[in-house]
A and B are shown apart, each in its own frame.
Chain A
């Protein structure tokens, strides 16, 4: 099994995920028997270094959000390893997991849904400290003010409710909450997708600033490749529960090798009327992860599919820019 290598091999990874699988049972028939599984994440391995951003890109239903939630341990993965600073947290129970919950935080796509609308911003930001029993009332409130300042909100926001804020400001509250306990890793699940263009850049700048200041690691999940490339050191492309290609942002864009990556990049509309698009338009839709195609699961939409792709399952290659495609696999016929 090949692992997406770190850029700097000497650094100890903060997070290493090995062969992670998340299969959701699908209940069928009148007896609700589990006949099939939705293989949302099906054997994913990667490392994240301290202070690094790994961008995770893919279309809806590819399993990128599920993967993020497994690492934040909102889900109990079916199989595989999630090593955080050397300790496997994939199977830890509620209690032993508590210290890791401080270190791994999450930012969600829709801040209106992820913030309790009946709590004031002060209550929302104080809650992490109460859960983990940190400090007294006074020190907590002082810290809440610091947090608001860090994300660029006025101190008087403390007594306000989430509905009184705009989308971008709400996302700032979500970010303040995620950094409250000085985490090491933040899972950002589509943090700017719901925001307007001019607000998006404000939030991206904030995330980049906070990363530099606190040496945070990000797993940045998004479908917008331009956004992901801007914020990421390395990028991994996911399709139907598997990583199909990965590498440094720049090289993914300039020398994409997997036909899916190439199509994905070519599909992005470029904001330049002089740009001539060389589109590789993919036919059809993403197949169901309950009943994925045989062999390479991309062969049904692949413009370069060969006969062998229907039978042989490709694996990520052992290279600086690993790719999971039989076109580049010399050992296969």
Chain B
């Protein structure tokens, strides 16, 4: 398959802590096709950010380690690469955008210095040319008066503008993959709309693939073609965005979709909840990791973790009971056919 940019196969990432080794990412696999957006959705601690850090080989050292699996970027295995080889991948072939733009930028350097640094590192061009490219890049991400902004410091910009700068830095060398880890979570909803639109436009223009990590199902529905739902370090379900939202199969995916308040739910009605909470990484249940919160639990679920099974081409679920669930209740996403008349 030549059109697959990134292929993650059976990735296992562990951290050594004082209380023992914990497996933050356990047997995670997915592919991202050229020009496609793949969304990873899950709650805090589900391993979605650790997956991204594993791909970038930016796990906190020495406690974080990839224990198994392959990360193939256009066929090359990133897991086997040396530090020097990885440095040529980061920024040039994979760009990354983090949640909090203020911590991603260096507060004591100008925007211009930080932006040209990336360009000079990966391209053999003069400083003047890099400066020009930097200004062009800022212009591309919609920053007004880019030549003046180049001389300013991060604190002089608003949150939305800072995130634009981070995106400009991530895309300065035209990477084939952009990893965006909660890129809009720290931003207001009107600014979030601007940034998501910007990423979409740039993706179309530059033809890159995007790995979008978020906890917001709305953002996923709007941006992603395929979706990976993660729970407690494992993939619960994956499929196209339509499969996930129209026929969610894993009890966790269903629970998530049913529990979010929507614009068309009856005010003050009882929301469906997922009872309890995510088990700690140190005391994971032996069987299915969702077992203690699952309303369809059977005794067999407690024995061994379920393997991913294929429902249809590209739609996989890790649940013993999926056949039963498939035929029982309809998906949670069906009630969402609500149109906003106010803005039509």
Binding site for B on A (CB under 8 A): 53, 59-60, 166, 168-169, 196-202, 204-205, 208, 223-227, 229-233, 249-250, 253-256, 261-275, 277-283, 285-286
Contact = CB atoms under 8 A, between A and B. Distances in A.
B197 A250 contact: no
A232 B261 CA distance: 12
A223 B189 contact: yes
B131 to A, nearest CB: 26
A230 B268 CA distance: 6
26 contacts: A168-B277, A169-B277, A198-B43, A199-B277, A204-B271, A205-B273, A225-B189, A229-B261, A230-B267, A231-B267, A232-B267, A253-B342, A255-B341, A262-B342, A265-B342, A267-B189, A269-B218, A270-B263, A271-B262, A272-B221, A272-B336, A273-B246, A274-B337, A275-B336, A278-B344, A282-B194
Contacts of A231: 261, 267-268
A272 B337 contact: yes
Given A269-B218, A273-B241, 14 more contacts: A59-B188, A59-B191, A197-B256, A231-B267, A249-B267, A253-B340, A255-B342, A262-B343, A266-B340, A270-B218, A271-B262, A272-B245, A272-B336, A281-B197
Contacts of A202: 273, 275
Contact of A198 (B197, B222, B273, B344): B273
Contacts of B327: none
Contacts of B333: 271-272
A268 B267 contact: no
B215 A277 contact: no
Nearest to A167: B44
B302 interface: no
A21 to B, nearest CB: 24
A279 B197 contact: yes
A271 B277 contact: no
A285 B160 contact: yes
Nearest to A212: B268
A17 B342 CA distance: 29
Choose among A224, A267, A277 the residue with the greatest number of B CB atoms under 10 Å from its CB.
A267
Contacts of A232: 267
B308 to A, nearest CB: 22
B193 interface: yes
A123 to B, nearest CB: 24
Interface residues of B, number: 56
A229 B263 contact: yes
B270 interface: yes
B257 interface: yes
Contacts of B257: 271
B193 A279 contact: yes
A280 B343 CA distance: 8
Contacts of B159: 285
A210 B98 CA distance: 38
Contact of B221 (A196, A223, A271): A271
Interface in B280-307: none
A199 B275 CA distance: 8
B29 interface: no
B43 A264 contact: no
B271 A270 contact: no
A60 B259 contact: no
B219 A282 contact: no
A264 B268 contact: no
A224 B192 CA distance: 12
Contact of B343 (A227, A271, A278): A278
A197 B260 contact: yes
B159 to A, nearest CB: 8
Contact of A271 (B260, B268, B271, B342): B260
Contacts of B338: 270, 272, 275
A286 B256 CA distance: 32
B69 to A, nearest CB: 26
A231 B161 CA distance: 33
Contacts of B241: 273
B72 interface: no
Nearest 6 CB-CB pairings of A with B: A269-B218, A230-B261, A272-B336, A196-B43, A59-B188, A201-B259
A273 B333 CA distance: 9
A277 B222 contact: yes
Contacts of A225: 189, 263
Nearest to A270: B218
B277 A281 contact: no
Interface string B230-269: 0000000000011001100000000111011111010111
B196 interface: yes
B143 to A, nearest CB: 11
B193 A267 contact: yes
Contacts of B215: 196-197
Interface in B180-210: 188-194, 196-197
B339 interface: yes
Contacts of B271: 201, 204-205, 230
